[in-house]
Amino acid sequence: MIFWVVLSGFFDAMHIGFGVVSALIVLVTFNSIRTVHFFEDQRDSITSVRFHKFIAFVPWLIVEIVKSAIQVAGMILHPKTDIEPSVVTFRVDLPSAHAKMVLGNSITLTPGTLTVDIKGDQFIVHALSPKTYAGIVDDSLPRKVLGVFSPDDHPVVHDVSITHSNLDLPKL
């Protein structure tokens, strides 16, 4: 709410009051939604998050997003760059549904990749090129997510299958 007030530039009682009411509505709604469990292993507590690792994970992810955005922009701006659309299927060994959700969202936030589906431990990811999915296959991103949720350090990604699209994309 403070962020909104600073950006909006409205400091009168009416706008601040609307902000307080809106924040309360969101809190009440979230409280009622958080008791619904969509998956069996979703009952794990937010206390399983290692906050000091999470605080380190966020800036690392932001840097990775920026690096990937520059890489994808280069692919778009240089028409001779080969784009090899691929579907990457893999399984993960993560401790909870929350960890899988964070991994899926982190993959989708990174330009050039999109988490298409998550079924149990299996992820299906669409990627523009081998460079864009390298951080998944080499286990660097999944291990960072594991570090947020568990002190264990073990390989996370296994059973990787990569299907390259044979579409004839127009060359510019």
For residue 4, pLDDT over 80 is answered with: no
Q: How many of the other CB atoms lie within 10 Å of CB of 52?
A: 9
Q: Provide CATH code, domain 44-164.
A: 3.30.70
Q: Evaluate if residue 171 carries a pLDDT over 50.
A: no
What pLDDT is stored for residue 164 in this prediction?
Answer: 81
Do residues 137 and 88 touch, judged by C-beta distance below 8 A? yes
* More confident: 68 or 27: 68
pTM: 0.72
H helix or E strand, kind and range, residue 128: none
Mean of pLDDT over the chain? 84
Q: Where are the domains of the chain?
A: 2-36, 44-164
Question: Which pLDDT score is estimated for 80?
Answer: 80
Average pLDDT of 146-159?
A: 91
Name the percent of the chain lying above pLDDT 70: 84
Distances (CA, A) of 89 to 2, 78, 101, 125, 161: 41, 28, 16, 6, 5
pLDDT in tens, 64-87: 999 999 989 988 898 787 788 899
Sorted by sequence, the CB contacts under 8 Å of residue 70 that are 6+ apart come out as: none
